[in-house]
Amino acid sequence: MELIIGPRTYSTWSLRGWLVMKRTGADFTVIDARYETEAQKAALREVSPSGFVPVLKVGGELIWDTLAIAEWANEHYPQARMWPADSITRALARSATAEMHSGFSALRNFCGTSSDRPMVGDARSETPSDPALDRDLSRLVTLFGQMRRRFGADGPWLFGEWSIADAFYTPVAARLRHFQIDLADYGDDGTAGAYAASLLAQPDFRLWEAEALA
Ligand SMILES: N[C@@H](CCC(=O)N[C@@H](CS)C(=O)NCC(=O)O)C(=O)O
């Protein structure tokens, strides 16, 4: 099994896919791809149907979207319990994951990662300001706060026990750190900020960060 990923310093979708695959406990080989130059993009299109990463190569097939990789991993490694067991909690976790997958566009635009604005390490950028970004950050505070208050008794993650949702929000926590965004400025009582800090402290993210900086 091979996981093709982009640069570890700033490829946020690659981090999500990698975190999910790590949780399976399965052996997989990481293949590094780049997409800065036209030549690199052309080479990536040779191995990725969409030209994007991550891509999981398994059994001669390609799975080229992070959510699809996550669902595949969940189906094939049920012992990893990637989604909450309870049906309603699972639907909420899927909603939060899908919201990240297709939403938070201002957060992506204004807090975009790159080699100059990495999601790992000590480099920091000025905090951007925009009404659309403010709305995304307020929504993040509401989502994190509501779910942590509701499921906190079951564990430290967004829905108590670790789930795919946590993989999807880990790069968000890294963006908040890089862009020096304090969620208290968006109505957080400390709950959302503490959850974001937990995401950055998870051993798999720390391993990713160490490898990215090596
Ligand atoms: N919907 C895709 C998005 C993947 C994506 O946007 N990947 C970025 C890296 S984080 C990429 O491959 N960019 C290549 C490029 O910009 O040429 C997924 O969920 O996997």
> Of all protein residues, whose CA lies closest to atom 11 belonging to ligand 1?
52
Closest ligand 1 atom to 69 CA:
20
User: What are the tens digits of pLDDT across the range 67-101?
Assistant: 999 999 999 999 999 999 999 999 999 999 999 99
> How does residue 8 score in pLDDT terms, banded at 50, 70 and 90?
very high
Give the span between the Cα atoms of 119 and 179, in whole angstroms.
9
Q: What rounded mean pLDDT belongs to the chain?
A: 98
First-to-last C-alpha distance (Å) of the chain: 24
Residue 214's Cα: distance from chain center in Å?
21
**For 158-212, how does the pLDDT look when each residue is reduced to its tens digit (9 = 90+)?**
999 999 999 999 999 999 999 999 999 999 999 999 999 999 999 999 999 999 9
Structural domains in the chain plus CATH codes? 2-80 (3.40.30.10), 87-213 (1.20.1050.10)
Residue 113 Cβ contacting ligand 1 at under 6 Å: no
Give the type of residue at 148.
Answer: R
Q: How high is the pLDDT of residue 153?
A: 97
Closest CA to 20 of 162, 140, 161, 198: 162
Does the CB atom of residue 4 touch ligand 1 within 6 A?
no
Tell me which H or E stretch contains 102.
Answer: helix 87-102
Ligand 1 neighbourhood includes 12 CB (under 6 angstroms): yes
SS3 at position 52: coil
pLDDT in tens, 32-45: 999 999 999 999 99
- pLDDT score of 133: 98
**Among 98, 43, 113, 91, residue whose Cα is nearest residue 65:** 98
Distance (Å, whole) CA 135 – CA 141: 10
Ligand 1 site, residue 10, Cβ cutoff 6 A: no
What pLDDT is recorded for position 172? 98
